[in-house]
Amino acid sequence: MTDTSFTSEAALKRLKKRRGKEWRFRIWGRAAIGFALAALAWLLISIVGTGYTAFQQNFMTLEFELSESVLAPDGTRDPEKLRGANYRRIVQTTMYELFPEVTDRKAKQELFGLTSASGATNKLRQMVYNNPELIGQTINVTVPASDQIDQLLKGYIKRDTDESRRKVSDQQIAWADTLKERGVIKKKFNRILFMNPDSRDPELAGIASAVIGSVMILVVAFVLAFPIGVGAAIYLDEFAPKNKFTDFIEININNLAAVPSIVFGLLGLAVFLNFMGMPRSIPLVGGMVLALRVFPTITIATRSALQGVSPSIVDGALSLGASHTQAVFQQKLPLAGPGILTGSIIGMAQALGETAPLLMIGMVAFVTEVPNSITEPATALPVQIFLWSDSAERAWAERTSAAIIVLLVVLITMNGFAIWLRNRLEQRR
């Protein structure tokens, strides 16, 4: 016999059990969310912690005497000839003059190592090439300090480690400190990181070519994947006959979205490079490969957006004598628009983060020039991160994290834009 009264002892016991179940579920939910937030916070703190210092860098403002006897002993002002002049000698002279008391050859070499050798010579070469009239003058130029000095002054190279175990000598530390006091070395905003392409020297390496490459890849991927993805979705949803064959296609598109991206890279390597003979490392091929990667995502998002539109709207249009195509394109598609755009932006954000397929088609190349078109070699932001993370020197770790921060900011911006766009378009209904 069961007691059905709500206040009986058995009923209260059941109630307590039910409440307990709910309470445990809430605790689990909070624990799960707490865990997710902690993981996110950990990721952000560790990346921002190592990366934020890279947005500033130590530069030296030095006086260079561009003496004619060194650069143009034959008196030439031909820019092409001046390219090959001995700028290293100019930089050396300037560096030695900072501490005239140094005479020992090895010590002189260490002194020269305070500045970024190729940074300074390249800069002088470029300036003279642009304006040969500078020869014979003495000019003030700001050049990056060497990566070791930069790391030392940022505190990453510990002064209390044994001299034999660090790349900066005690003498160099003393010079760097003196120069800092004299105001020769100053920390400034790191334009190099954003304006330069990749380089062998960490203090000269930047993400410019990777960012431009990524933008080109995304544009190509979007231009290809958006019309194909949306078109396929509209056709499958609205016009295709419902039979075994279209079911099969549907399953395959859903599977395609879950295929590991490296497989698309191999496909691109086999089809675009080997079969069609397109060049390696170019954004055009990268974009084509990522278009394959993203189009199933766009198709799936579009189909779910189309299915979310109330069928009564299409019925209304049809009942007025609109053709099926008119009903779909004039009434249904505009309503599905926000969902389609959101899905596409999230798809593009995925594409921005893709690394593996780009490695397969050779976008992992060391590119020291900013690409001007989609058929010039380039690299992409995530690939650049991969490349830098592989390098040993301390300065690369900092730059890797800085590049990751830039990538994350772009991703957050894209996803935020998707949410904003959806809310805005939905309000207009």
Partner 1 sequence: MTETIKTKFTCRDVRVHYGDFEALHGIDIDIPDRGVTAFIGPSGCGKSTFLRTFNRMNDTIDGCRVSGKILMDGEDIYDKNLDPVLLRAQVGMVFQKPNPFPKSIYDNVAYGPRIHGMTSSRAELDNLVEKSLRRAGLWDEVKDRLKLSGTGLSGGQQQRLVIARAIAVDPEVILMDEPASALDPIATAKLEALIDELKERYCIIIVTHSMAQAARVSDKTAFFYMGDLIEFDNTDKIFTNPGNNRTQDYITGRTG
What residue ranges bind partner 1 (CB under 8 A)? 242, 310, 312-324, 326, 330-331, 335, 429
| Intra-chain end-to-end CA distance of the chain, in Å | 57
146 SS3 class: coil
What span, in angstroms and rounded, lies between the C-alpha atoms of 45 and 197? 27
Nearer to partner 1, 331 or 368 (CB): 331
56-65 and 185-189: which strand pairing?
A: antiparallel
Number of H helices, E strands in the chain: 19, 3
Q: Which is nearer to partner 1, 138 or 330 (CB)?
A: 330
Q: How many CB atoms lie within 10 A of CB 302?
A: 27
Q: Quick one: residue 356, left, alpha or beta (phi over 0 = left, psi -120 to 50 = alpha)?
A: alpha
Closest CA to 344 of 428, 239, 248, 421: 421
> Helices 244-256 and 283-307 meet at what angle, rounded to 10?
130
**Minimum distance from CB of 327 to partner 1 (Å)?**
9
User: What separation in angstroms does the CA of 394 have from each of 81, 148, 186, 400?
Assistant: 37, 8, 20, 10
Query: How far is CA 366 from each of CA 123, 198, 210, 371, 386, rounded to the nearest angstrom?
Result: 21, 7, 10, 12, 12
Upper half-sphere CA count for residue 320 (Cβ side, 13 Å) = 10
Euclidean distance between CA atoms 62 and 88, whole angstroms: 14
d(CA 205, CA 42): 27
Nearest to 191, CA basis, from 172, 179, 205, 181: 205
Least Å distance between CB 364 and partner 1?
Answer: 48
- What 3-state DSSP class applies to 115? strand
